[in-house]
Amino acid sequence: MTAITERTVVGVVGAGAMGAGIAQVAAQRGHAVVLADAFPAALARAREGHAKAMAREVEKGRLARDAADAVLARITYVEGVTPAALRAFEPCGVVIEAIVEDLAVKRALFRDLETEVAKDAILATNTSSLSIAAIAGACAHAERVVGLHFFNPAPVMPLVEVIPAITTAPAVTDAAKALAERWLKVVVVAADTPGFIVNRVARPFYGEALRIAEERIADPATIDWAMKEHGKFKMGPFELMDFIGNDVNYAVTCSVYEGMFQDPRYRPSLIQRRLVEAGLLGRKTGRGHYDYRADAVLPEPSRHQATGRQIVERILAMLVNEAVEAVRLGIASPHDIELAMLRGVNYPKGLLAWGDEIGPRHVLETLESLQAEYVEDRYRPSPLLRRIVRDGGRLLP
């Protein structure tokens, strides 16, 4: 495999928000970029978005006009993802896929891509929750396929998860890490399991908030207020779901749930399913958990201090438990789990350190109380959490 340098041509398939953002990052770091999409309108939006982004950089004094123009000139826009169109990727040393989260579609693309690029080119997928091994399985040379998961917006968000499949060559993993670091990203390595680090560990932030709302313990406005006021999160779970898009958040939840053999920890919510069915996807459609239309009045939370603290305690116990379980199962190192949640979703504290601050015994007792009340495996404590409490140890080594 040829080493990736600034002279390496980078290919990106998919010109939506993620793909366009990744292409911009690569071009700003000096690479020639080939960006393709099946839809001309998506390419037009990407081109327009790149021009606006560079204009902002110039306006803010971060780039000279000629440097901004050079970034734009490095991006070639290709219409189509047919085998004929994919020939444009022949000079690429790495190609990053950022298309729809559909395994069959991704496998077909990788099968076609493999025949058009050099034998030593790396093929990466930006999937947020699908199996890297399953995508790589479509290729004759699965050893060169790796997960390279950026967060939206890619030019702004610092974290990249590198996910080797069981078939990925170690040299490919190392090259993917080096590439993301060259692009000044914070890199963590995750096992090829549903949701990787962030989308797995963060599931209770949304799922448990939805459960609390389903049970009418508190409404979304109150839950969001509690998580911001007492938990110090920058956004509440319902605000964040509306920002991400309920369709996107629901799809990731379903993917993790099915990928984990319907483990009740990750069960989707009927509230969110109904919103998706109704097309109430959040900010992008004007309505979601909240109404964002011009004449709408946002609901006031019930600022009951005791209830707020109970909400935070319940959701946080689930989050800490999920982080501990990720350590137990070798999803990532404790350091990378902390880093991923701090830099990928901007949590106020790393979950393992936060659990130590609360006290592992208190986290365990909260979960045991919930499990006794609901008689559900959803609230089962991690065996590692039990061992740590028994031995008087700490969650963060």
Give mean pLDDT, residues 201-227: 97
Which parts of 88-229 fold into alpha helices (H)?
103-114, 132-136, 170-182, 198-201, 203-214, 220-229
Q: Is 230 a catalytic residue?
A: no
Backbone torsions φ then ψ of 370, nearest 5 degrees = -65, -40
Q: Per-residue pLDDT tens for 148-157? A: 999 999 999 9
Selected catalytic residue, list 129, 199, 269, 321:
199
Give residue 3's pLDDT: 78
Strand order in the sheet with 9-13: 75-79, 33-37, 9-13, 92-97, 122-125, 145-150, 159-164, 186-189
Q: Is 161 a catalytic residue?
A: yes
Give residue 306's pLDDT: 86
Give mean pLDDT, residues 363-390: 98
Classify the phi-psi angles of 30: left when phi > 0, otherwise alpha if psi is within -120 to 50, otherwise beta. Answer: left
Assess whether pLDDT exceeds 70 at residue 9.
yes
Q: What's the fold here for domain 200-391?
A: N-(1-d-carboxylethyl)-l-norvaline Dehydrogenase; domain 2 (1.10.1040)
Selected catalytic residue, list 50, 114, 128, 269:
128
Q: What is the DSSP letter of 282?
A: B
Quote the percentage of the chain above a pLDDT of 90: 97
Residue 155: cis peptide before it, omega within 30 degrees of 0: no
Give residue 135's pLDDT: 98
Let me know: does 189 contact 162? Beta carbons within 8 Å.
yes
Assess whether pLDDT exceeds 90 at residue 2.
no
Task: Give the C-alpha separation, 307 to 330, whole Å.
Answer: 35
Please give the mean pLDDT across all residues of the chain: 97
Q: Per-residue pLDDT tens for 15-30? A: 999 999 999 999 999 9
Q: Per-residue pLDDT tens for 255-282? A: 999 999 999 999 999 999 999 999 999 9
Task: Give the largest CA-CA distance in the chain.
Answer: 65
Which part of the chain has CATH 1.10.1040.50? 200-391
Residue 146: strand pairing partners: 124, 164
Assess whether pLDDT exceeds 80 at residue 1.
no
Give residue 171's pLDDT: 97
Task: Give the C-alpha separation, 8 to 33, whole Å.
Answer: 9
Quote the pTM value. Answer: 0.95
Task: Give the C-alpha separation, 379 to 314, whole Å.
Answer: 10
Task: Give the C-alpha separation, 139 to 103, whole Å.
Answer: 13
Own/partner long-range contacts of 124-127 (Cβ < 8 Å, ≥24 apart): 124/94, 124/95, 124/96, 124/97, 124/148, 124/176, 125/96, 125/97, 126/14, 126/18, 126/19, 126/22, 126/96, 126/97, 126/98, 126/150, 127/97, 127/101
Give residue 302's pLDDT: 92
Amino acid, single-letter form, for residue 257: Y
Contacts of 108 (CB under 8 A, 6+ apart): 138
Q: Is 149 a catalytic residue?
A: yes
Selected catalytic residue, list 149, 269, 321, 382:
149
Q: Is 79 helix (H, G, I), strand (E, B) or coil?
A: strand
DSSP for 220-276 reads HHHHHHHHHHTT--SS-HHHHHHHH-HHHHHHHHHHHHHHTTT-GGG---HHHHHHH
Q: Is 269 a catalytic residue?
A: no
Assess whether pLDDT exceeds 90 at residue 249.
yes
In the structure encoding, which two tokens stand for residue 168, read together? 């990925």
Q: Is 388 helix (H, G, I), strand (E, B) or coil?
A: helix
Give mean pLDDT, residues 196-220: 97
Let me know: does 20 contact 45? Beta carbons within 8 Å.
yes
CA 291-294-298 angle, to 5 degrees, is 40
Selected catalytic residue, list 97, 114, 116, 161:
161
Which part of the chain has CATH 3.40.50.720? 9-189
Task: Give the C-alpha separation, 195 to 266, whole Å.
Answer: 11
Quote the percentage of the chain above a pLDDT of 70: 99
Let me know: does 159 contact 185? Beta carbons within 8 Å.
yes
User: Which listed CATH number (3.40.50.620, 3.40.50.720, 3.40.50.150, 3.40.50.11540) goes with 9-189?
Assistant: 3.40.50.720
Give residue 367's pLDDT: 98
Task: Give the C-alpha separation, 21 to 150, whole Å.
Answer: 9
Q: Per-residue pLDDT tens for 55-71? A: 999 999 999 999 999 99
**Within 10 A of 384 (CB to CB), how many other CB atoms are there?**
18
Which residue's structure tokens are 């190392």? Answer: 174
